[in-house]
Chains A and B, each alone.
Chain A
Amino acid sequence: MPSRRRALLKVIILGDSGYVNKKFSNQYKATIGADFLTKEVQFEDRLFTLQIWDTAGQERFQSLGVAFYRGADCCVLVYDVNVMKSFDNLNNWREEFLIQASPSDPENFPFVVIGNKIDVDGGNSRVVSEKKARAWCASKGNIPYFETSAKEGTNVEDAFQVIAKNALKSGEEEEIYLPDTVDVASSSQQRSTGCEC
């Protein structure tokens, strides 16, 4: 029974540099509000539907807040290897996520870190080394780390495999809800406000 539920995985992508148009893009196109795409991933003979939520990155296009973090199975933190600040901000994004999504076991919540745009300027403009990024990931409880190039999207598939695996292995347990009385007749209809729309 729970296995079927896990077939749908909610993934939140956070970071200063966005995941746009099914690939990590170089071109700047703002995202408005939260936006999700679905992606099917095959893992160990099973098909998973990933619900990938991308965020605006810019606060001014986040007017309704971040209620969509709730119920996430995995959080992907993305930074631009050419921009130190985007790496420095990873910690803020991680903490912000844990506060807003309030998962039941924040210590073991599955994150993935992606260093993006490694191909820009043939790698010459890179300012965050892989070693540094991996060290940070290790310090935060061995977060899996991937690097991708915006143009070719290399390693993105691998990342999604790991996301599926992690979400399956140690992902958020369902919020267990038990009704006070199992009484089908007493629904919440009484509270409805009269109007029929």
Chain B
Amino acid sequence: MMISNGIEDEEKWLAEGIAGIQHNAFYLHRALDANNLREALKFSAQLLSELRTSRLSPHKYYELYMRAFDELRRLEMFFKDEDRHGCSVVDLYELVQHAGNILPRLYLLCTVGSVYIKSKEAPAKDVLKDLVEMCRAVQHPIRGLFLRSYLAQVSRDKLPDIGSEYEGEGDTVMDAVEFVLQNFTEMNKLWVRMQHQGPLREKEKLEKERNELRDLVGKNLHVLSQIEGVDLEIYRDTVLPRVLEQIVNCKDELAQYYLMDCIIQVFPDEYHLQTLEILLGACPQLQPTVDLKTVLSQLMERLSNYASSSPELLPEFLQVEAFSKLSNAIGKVIEAQADMPIVGAITLYVSLLTFTLRVHPDRLDYVDQVLGACVKKLSGKPKLEDSKATKQVVALLSAPLDKYDDIVTALTLSNYPRVMDHLDAGTNKVMAMVIIRSIMKNKTCVSTSDKVEVLFELIKGLIKDLEGISTDELDEEDFNEEQNSVACLMHMLYNDDPEEMLQIICTVWKHIKAGGPKRLPFTVPPLVFSALKLVRRLQGQDGDVAGEEVPATPKKIFQLLNQIIEALSVVPSPELALRLYLQCAEAANDCDLEPVAYEFFTQAFVLYEEEVADSKAQVTAIHLIIGTLQRMNVFGVENRDTLTHKATGYSAKLLKKPDQCRAVYACSHLFWVDDQDGIKDGERVLLCLKRSLRIANAAQQMANVTRGSSGPLTLFVEILNKYLYFFEKGNPQITSSVIQGLIELIKTEMQSDSTTANHASDAFFTSTLRYIQFQKQKGGAMGEKYDPIKL
């Protein structure tokens, strides 16, 4: 209630003030129209009396001030026109000083003063000096600040500036500068002093009001920046030192922060660049609570924008050693502001790094230097836990990646991993993901084992358990995403030189083998395939021929592969390992390395026997084994017999009869390889098929017994199709009469009562028959072959 009352009261006071101004303005206008100077002065003084109030906040006071301001412009035009009032400007300057109250008197004096200067009847500098001195009479902060800002505004276009009509005859730019600096100093004093006026409990309100008034003070700096005659020399030797002196000595946090910001924003970039030392030198002298990180960040942003506006500016930056000056200043500020939280320091480094990357993208040493300074600040402290600070470190580390689109550049920064070491495990992983994404996005190829070593050191948070975090606590989805990213990353590690590539693979293996049972299933397969890719590359070269000292030979890689896949046993993940063994076996086959291929098969079989227990998994595995074994051509008779024998043995021992049947007929392919040199053992093919028929029969009977009806005839139709395949391939054991017999068998079975009608198997059979019919009608050799089969 109290607050709303306060606001209502203020509205009332403002309305009263406005009414007072309007009332007197009415008579003022009448006096102006009548060219009545005496009346005009009287009513304008009364009008200005409204500004004597102490009851309004700066915002409301400003509204009142603006109304008075607008009226004074008319009065000013009247003053200019001597014909209308018949009084010389010199006399006018004396006359207005008769006003009773000091505030109206000074507003009128400033107004006449501006006309006085314009008339050139006295040197501008004398009038200005007089006015700025006279204004000292008002020491009430709000009234004084507005009065002086009025002075600043009306004198604004009458300063003895270069090229202005008020220059010359003893009036120089320096007089203009002196005048504005003096006004600025006085205003700043009023502004700073304001905080000590009024009771302590109103401190917060007072600070708010002070903050609202800030632009009145800052305005002077804007005026200075607009004086054309303020060249670099005057700025460097007079303006900047004097302004900074005032800022430093006022020892007020609000004023210091705001005015530093003003300097940076109002003066031109090239001035900042040429006076960096002076400007930065003031920073450590400011109050320790001043938010210098924002101030300096803005300065650096301005300078970066400036540098990027034209490439011709770069030599200037180098010449003034902008980077080292900024870097030193930041170091000193961090030192001076001992209580600055770590996030503040890192934010400063992020700004400096951004500046460096924009202005000196080629200077990696600068980048490393910034990171090094950051490491220094972080070292000796516990790992960061402040989330804002870690965010800034991530920003710091991400900046070079974004800039260079190339992780390889970042990998050459010696301080990069050292900064990462200061991150907690969680953030470390976030950063690792940023790195991987950058690589993937830019399709960066990491091409030496040294770089891979650095890279994996950087992303170690993803590669193995770090202290304090166990994989059990992790969100599974996040974990999977991370590990998939690592898997993707492995495909970006590549070198054309096989030896270096093998080195890369070994380095990666060294890192990922410590990953533990949860990570290995993600990381092992891509590494295996990467190694197999290398094997394929070497395969054509026949490495063994060159002698013993060639390090990258398929043989050697296969040894490594054996180790890698074996590591999966700790997971355990027998199905995955089995697949990988089979892949390796096939690669070894293509390299003509029989013993190696045999070894991989052995490993696969051992896994099958000892580890793959689930019947479904067994079915999948056996088909994989059969498929791979079928394509192998490296084996001699003996080895091949052993392996095919094993495979058919496993097939017949599957749990479910249909599975058995299918695996066994698949084994028939092991004895008939359809290429030029392939094995063609028709008899054993027939044996397999017959055996699968027997199993199909057994399955049928079993179904009869247990369910009262036999299952569908699908298995028989499938076998029939195998018969047809080998028939067409010319297996002499498969004759048309054998096929005829099988067709009859199926037909009979279909008509039997006990057979369950099954649409799918019926359709399968029908289309098989249609195929036979088609082949018969096609004619030629195939037609003849099919001819004896009667449907």
A binding-site residues for B, Cβ under 8 Å:
1, 4-5, 7-8, 10, 20-21, 27-33, 35-38, 49, 51, 56, 58, 60-65, 67-68, 70-71, 175, 177-179, 184, 187-189, 191-193, 195-197
User: Nearest 7 pairs between A and B by C-beta?
Assistant: A30-B265, A33-B215, A188-B20, A32-B222, A32-B218, A67-B63, A67-B66
Whether A8 and B52, one on each chain, are in contact in the complex, defined by CB atoms closer than 8 angstroms, is no
Contact B219 A33 (CB under 8 A): yes
Q: Contact partner of B59 among A36, A61, A64, A197, CB < 8 A?
A: A64
| A58 to B20 Cα, complex, angstroms | 33
A193 in complex: contacting residue of B54, B66, B156, CB < 8 Å: B54
Judge whether A192 and B218 touch: CB under 8 Å. Answer: no
In addition to A188-B23, A188-B49, A197-B103, 12 A-B residue pairs with Cβ atoms within 8 Å of each other are A29-B225, A32-B222, A32-B266, A33-B222, A35-B222, A58-B265, A61-B215, A63-B215, A68-B66, A188-B20, A191-B20, A196-B100
A30 contacts B222, CB within 8 Å? yes
Instruction: Knowing A67-B63, A70-B66 are in contact, say whether A178-B222 is a contact too (CB < 8 A).
Output: no
Q: Is B595 an interface residue (CB 8 A)?
A: no
Task: List the A side residues contacting B489 at CB < 8 Å.
Answer: none
The reply to whether the CB of B785 lies closer than 8 angstroms to some CB of chain A is no
B697: Cβ under 8 A from any A Cβ: no
List the B residue with the shortest CB-CB distance to A49: B77
Nearest CB on A from B412, distance (A): 35
Report if A64-B153 is in contact (Cβ < 8 Å); known contacts: A30-B265, A188-B24, A191-B16: no
- Report B188 CB to chain A, min CB distance, Å: 14
Structural contact, B26 and A178, CB atoms closer than 8 A: yes
**What separation, in Å, do the CA atoms of A196 and B104 have in the docked complex?**
10
- Is the CB–CB distance between B216 and A31 below 8 Å? no
**Given A188-B46, A193-B52, A179:B74 Cβ within 8 A:** no
- CB-contact partner of B52 in A32, A56, A175, A197, under 8 A: A197
A65 with B59, Cβ < 8 A, contacts A1-B33, A188-B24, A193-B54 known:
yes
For the complex, is B424 an interface residue (Cβ under 8 Å from A)?
no
Interface flags for B665-696 (1: CB within 8 Å of A; 0: not) read: 00000000000000000000000000000000
Chain A residues near B138 (CB-CB < 8 A)? 197
Identify A7's interface contact among B46, B77, B266, CB under 8 A: B77
Do A51 and B59 touch across chains, with their CB atoms under 8 A apart?
no
Contact A64 B58 (CB under 8 A): yes
Q: Report A167 CB to chain B, min CB distance, Å.
A: 15
Closest-CB distance, A119 to chain B (whole angstroms): 15
5 of the cross-chain contacts (CB-CB < 8 Å) are A10-B70, A28-B302, A33-B215, A193-B52, A197-B103
Q: Do A192 and B27 touch across chains, with their CB atoms under 8 A apart?
A: no
From A4, A64, A65, name the one whose CB has the most chain B CB atoms within 10 angstroms: A64
| Across-interface contacts of B70 in A (CB, < 8 A) | 10, 70-71
**A27 and B268 contact, CB distance less than 8 A:** yes
Q: Which residues of A contact B269 (CB under 8 A)?
A: 27-28
The 8 Å CB contact of B74, one of A8, A32, A63, A196, is A8
Chain B residues, CB < 8 A from A5 = 74
**Count the B residues whose beta carbon is within 8 Å of the partner chain — how many?**
61
Cβ–Cβ contact B268 & A64, under 8 A: no
Residues on the B chain within 8 Å of A7, using CB: 77
How many whole Å from A35's CB to the nearest CB in chain B? 7
Cα(A7)–Cα(B143), bound, Å: 30
Q: Say whether A62 contacts B49, CB under 8 Å.
A: no
Task: Kindly provide the distance from the CB of B678 to the nearest chain A CB, expressed in whole angstroms.
Answer: 68
Interface centre among A58, A62, A197 (most CB of B within 10 A): A197
Q: Are A188 and B50 in contact (CB under 8 A)?
A: yes
Majority DSSP secondary structure for residues of A touching B: loop
Contact of A179 among B26, B149, B305 (CB under 8 A): B26
Compute how far the CA of A184 lies from the CA of B156 in the bound complex, rounded to whole angstroms. 35
A93 to B54, CA, bound (A): 33
**Is A32 in contact with B219, judged by CB distance below 8 angstroms?**
yes
| Known contacts A64-B212, A197-B102; A38/B62 CB under 8 A | no
Contact in complex: B215, A29 (CB < 8 Å): no
CB distance from A168 to the nearest CB of B (A): 17
A64-B213 in contact given A71-B70, A188-B23, A196-B101 (Cβ < 8 Å): yes
Instruction: Pick from B46, B153, B267, B268: contact of A187, CB below 8 A.
Output: B46
Contact call A179/B23, Cβ cutoff below 8 A? yes
Which of A33, A37, A70 counts the most chain B CB atoms within 10 A? A33
- CA separation between A79 and B103, bound complex, in Å? 40
Considering the complex, give the chain A residue whose CB is closest to the CB of B217: A32
Q: Which residue of A lies closest to B80 (CB)?
A: A49
B373 interfacial contact with A, CB 8 Å: no
Chain B residue contacts of A49, Cβ below 8 A: 77
**Whole-angstrom distance between the alpha carbons of A32 and B67 in the complex?**
20
Which residues in A have their C-beta under 8 angstroms from that of B212? 63-64
Within 8 Å CB of A196, what residues of B?
100-102
> A38 touching B215 by the CB < 8 A rule?
no
0/1 string, B31-57, CB within 8 A of A gives 1: 001000000000000100110111000
Q: How far is the CB of A40 from chain B (nearest CB, A)?
A: 12
Interface hits, B291-334 → A, CB 8 Å = 302, 305
A178 CB contacts on chain B under 8 angstroms: 26
Most-contacted residue by chain B among A58, A175, A196 (CB, 10 A)? A196
- Measured between beta carbons, the chain A residues less than 8 angstroms from B24 are 187-188
A35 to B53, CA, bound (A): 25
Q: Are the C-beta atoms of A38 and B157 separated by less than 8 Å?
A: yes
Known: A177-B22, A177-B25. A67 touches B215 (CB 8 A): no
A58 neighbours in B (Cβ, 8 Å): 265
Contact B216 A192, beta carbon cutoff 8 Å: no
B615 interface hit (Cβ, 8 Å): no
Is B262 interfacial (CB 8 A cutoff)? yes
Please state if B215 and A192 are interface contacts (CB–CB under 8 Å): no
Once the chains bind, are B156 and A35 in contact (CB under 8 Å)? yes
Residues of A near B101 (CB, < 8 A) are 192, 196-197
